[in-house]
Structure 1
Amino acid sequence: MSGVATVGSQERHGDFVHDGKDHLLPLLDAEGLKEAERCSMAPYTVEDFTADMLAKSGGRHDRDEIRIIVEQGYDTMKWLAERGVPFKLPLNFWVSHEGKDGVQDLAPGVPVVTRDYGRGLADAMWKAAEQTNIQAFYSMPAHDLIMDGDRVLGVQARSPRGFCEFYGNLILACGGFEANPRMRRQYLGRGTEFAIVRGTRFNTGVMLEKALAAGAQAQGHRGGYYCAPQDVDAPKMGDVKTLDKWERYSFPYSIMVNKAGERFVDEGEDELSLINSKVGAAIAQEQDAKAFQVFDRKTASLVNEKYLTHSTPIEDDKFEGLAKKMGINIDNFMQTVNSYNAATSKDKGKFDPYTNDGLSTTEDCTPRKSNWALPIDSAPYTAYAVTVSITFTFGGIKTNQSGQVLNNEDNVMPGLYATGEVTGGFYYG
């Protein structure tokens, strides 16, 4: 009951079990159904979903939550679609390309995205809420819990006219602390205080901290977060006008270097949707949380169109000139490029930009590039300056299977519920 209409994450999608493209058609809006004719997608099975979650979380995630999502995920997405959430398949979501016969074969682990992303989701859900008897209080953020021992009686909200109190059962659905630079630095570590916030500026962790102070049990990976590479000139807070235009997801076809001119991450470790957060977090650890994605002419057609509309490319026909324009160590950059190119395969026939092609550098290349390791040797060369952008944080408060918040003694706190990213049992690592 914060009363603040928020944007949500700039990248809003849901991973759930499904039987392939035809199974997803009932979820799509009218435009999405037309776009689906240009796509193919294999099923995402229970086994696939479970294996991905195990790999992503290191086995730490809450098994009951995973079971519920497996059992009810598709029906929940259908419920949202029936209430006007405009879902579509992730056509050109990661990279701009056309597959065989103009049909894109999409990765099944990210089955649908919301049209207009976080803004589209928020707009649709507010519209659905306005058709009910739910009353919204704008410009009145939640400020504190109203407590009687372990029992939650309601919430105190603040406004320019003073505090207001609302009594009744309380559901915390206020996200994490991604918009709070103090908490980011405290829990997520060096470099994250510089992070661009991809979504709402209002997820500052206020009610998360209030709940913990009231005795709610902490749960989850407080030092973990979901992030991605973003253009260095992107707005510092989520912009509902430009939405996802600042994302920089074509890095698997580049080499990424830091301000010292050195590579620092495996740009092609796995399918993009599985590593973009890991790569974003790696950027956060570099000097000034800044890096450069460097492409050559061979992969220019694979650069997502978002790069071309919302960025300032750095271009040159020579590596020395490119490094000078990037403002990085020229000698280190030349050594990086030469050693990387020497470690790449000359068998360009194996290159497949749309699947893990196994085209890797040799083992003596550090860090190794596991897929899509073409040499960077065809001028002109283009670089894009990037930084880390944070979507949401992982750690939160513990709930039971009914969404009731548990205290430090593992007992229910009557009157208090929580859902979404303010809870902490789902994401780790």
Structure 2
Amino acid sequence: MNMDNRELDAEVIVVGAGNAGFSAAHAARERGRTVILLEAGSEETAGGNSFYTAGATRIVHDGLKDLSDLVEADERHSVSEVPPYSKDEYIADLLRVTEGRTDLELADILAEESHSALSWLKSLGLKYRLMYERQAYERPDGSYLFWGGLHVGNVDGGQGLIADHTAVAKKMGTDIRYEHRATGLLVEDGRVRGVIVDTPDGTVTLRAESLVLTAGGFEANPEMRADHLGERWANAKVRGTPHNQGDMLNAALDVGASRGGDWETCHSVQWDAFTPQNESNRELTNRLTRQSYHLGVLVNNQGRRFLDEGADFRNYTYAKYGKVILEQPDSIAYQIFDRNIRPMLRTEEYDMPQISEEVADTLPELAEKLNIDSDAFAATIGEYNSGVLRDVDFDPTIKDGRRSDVTPVKSNWALPIESGPFYAYPVTCGITFTFGGLKSDVEGRVLDESHQPIPGLLVAGEMLGGLFSLNYPGGSGLAAGCVFGRRVGTIA
């Protein structure tokens, strides 16, 4: 270390030990940089939002053969069809679901480097697999067809992701410091020189050449949610880590960083409304989502439908429908299925312990159990059933055009709700992460209001603004953490 660095605690300090933070730390350590990784949680509560995910990661690939060196072997591979997913499709999906608001430079890099970033992590020790239970349907002949562009995930989901990252970091010599919550930035002569940290032993200042911010958004802070997303968002359920309070976003803005991306929207999903401990649950994690909604119908507590459940593959609608449910009376809705649909629901979500569920032999009995207007509910289901195009084949592996011509229309996968017993799953809005972050260049250097890099300050993960707005393609968040985490670690 040169003379100017004698007082440094490390050459690189990374704030936030989630997927993006670990990726940045690994890349910096590969270059021989000394790295401190700060984590607000204890070792038992660490991992940021990444821990709570299913581990699904959207990458460009050319089919199963192209993935064979990346994913774990599985005897089902020989009878599986994995459609290629191109860079152009990736960017088109980002443009479509964000309604053209994605930053095209960032989107191009994300798509271009998504596969190589995962291959790099695999080489370090992370483990990936094809996501049969979430992204494939078994066909009558026993073969499997993958769909929706999202095919790869971590072995053991988010828990496996963080366990693997942690093992790699320890092997590489990264200094992981748990229960170290960064609260502010140290700036000297116009350069970020360090970070102020609350620790179990008091407040300290740690100095570094480069500071990498990967501390997530403000989704766990009800006051910031209300200020930026709207008053009703104060009542949303926090799906992931309780530690993402927006501290480092505010700290960066305080030293002149420019906002990036959409601060008024977020990733939010349909979330179990009544299961005990339905926030930041490290045992059930992602299993509290209810993501087979596209197979049934959604009604509010007035017994009426309010959205197109089959507008697109689940991957492209689930992250925006939480907001729609938040806007319903009492911020609650009910997913409705019948006897014929129930076996198709995702086992890990709909057969979990303590699930909120109501079952009844008839629709009037179900309405009574849900305490919703029986006549309105019956009329809704009756109109929906009458509108189903029964001469169109149902096929969950494609957008099959089997619609129900009602208002609002159900565009695909419309199956009648007519055979008891009937099932209802109460859902509310579960917030995942906020889309607003810091503005950076394509290398992850944080920019000031004049669009000039702030020396010494880098950003990745959910703190990087610009990729997502209104909605996002499933699995692109973890992919972005890998890609841009590696990028900032390479220059830190």
What TM-score bracket applies, with the shorter chain setting the length? Answer: over 0.9
Please give the secondary structure, in 2, of the residue aligned with 1:8. helix
Q: Which residue of 1 aligns with 2:374?
A: 330
The one-letter code of the counterpart of 2:201 is R
Query: What is residue 70 of structure 2 aligned with on the other side?
Result: 27
Look up the match of 1:266: 308
- Kept after mapping to 2: 8 A contact 1:42/1:108: no
* Highest RCO, 1 vs 2 (Cα 8 Å, sep ≥ 6): 2
User: Following the alignment from structure 1 to structure 2, what is the Cα–Cα distance between the partners of residues 256 and 22?
Assistant: 39
Deviation digits for residues 42-62 of structure 1 (CA, Å, limit 9, x no counterpart) = 100122112111101222222
Matched residue, 1:253: 295
How many equivalent residue pairs? 423
Contact 1:176 1:208 (8 Å CA) reproduced: yes
From 143, 146, 160, the counterpart of 1:106: 146
Alpha-carbon distance change, 34 to 288 in structure 1, aligned in 2, over 3 angstroms: farther
The 1:236/1:213 distance shift into structure 2, 3 A limit, reads farther
SS of aligned partner of 2:288: coil
AA aligned to 2:364 is E
Aligned: 1:117 with 2:157:
yes
Could you tell me which of 431, 434, 440 is aligned with 1:399? 440
Cα deviation 1:147-191 (Å, max 9, x = unaligned): 126321100000232211110110001111121122222222243
Amino acid at match of 2:333: A
Aligned residues of 2:446 and 2:458 also touching (Cα < 8 A): yes
| Inter-partner Cα distance in structure 2 for 1:49 and 1:200 | 28
Residues 1:70 and 2:106 are matched in the alignment = no
Q: CA deviation at 1:331?
A: 2.2
2:275 pairs with 1:239: no
Q: Do structure 1's residue 358 and structure 2's residue 401 form an aligned pair?
A: yes
Contact map agreement 2:260 2:436 (CA 8 A) in 1: yes
Considering only aligned residues, what root-mean-square deviation do their CA atoms show, in Å?
Answer: 1.8
Alpha-carbon separation, structure 1, partners of 2:325 and 2:135:
19
Secondary structure in 2 matching 1:152? strand
Aligned-partner Cα distance in 2 for 1:57–1:406: 23
Task: Name the CA distance, whole Å, in 2 between partners of 1:285 and 1:89.
Answer: 35
Aligned partners of 1:124, 1:299: CA distance in 2, in Å?
37
- How far residue 284 of structure 1 moved from its aligned partner, in angstroms, is 1.5
Identity %: 33
TM-score (normalizing by structure 1): 0.94
Mapped to 1, the partners of 2:189 and 2:332 lie a distance apart of 47
Question: Which residues of structure 1 form unaligned runs of 5+?
Answer: none
**2:87 match:** 46
Structure-2 separation of matches of 1:63 and 1:149: 33
Give me the whole-angstrom Cα distance separating, in 2, the residues matched to 1:338 and 1:108: 31
| C-alpha distance in 1 between matches for 2:428 and 2:192 | 41
> Would you say 1:88 and 2:129 are equivalent positions?
yes
- Equivalences for residues 197-216 of structure 1 within 5 A: 197-216=238-257
Q: CA deviation at 1:38?
A: 5.0
Distance verdict in 2 for CA 1:329–1:292, change over 3 Å = same
Question: Does structure 1 retain, via aligned residues, the 8 Å contact 2:388–2:416?
Answer: yes
- Tell me how far apart the structure 2 counterparts of residues 223 and 190 of structure 1 sit (CA, whole Å): 12
TM-aligned CA deviation for residue 115 of structure 1: 2.4
In structure 2, the partner of 1:217 is 258
Structure 1 residue 307 and structure 2 residue 354: aligned?
no
Q: CA deviation at 1:198?
A: 2.1
Query: In structure 1, how many angstroms separate the alpha carbons of the residues matched to 2:117 and 2:146?
Result: 22
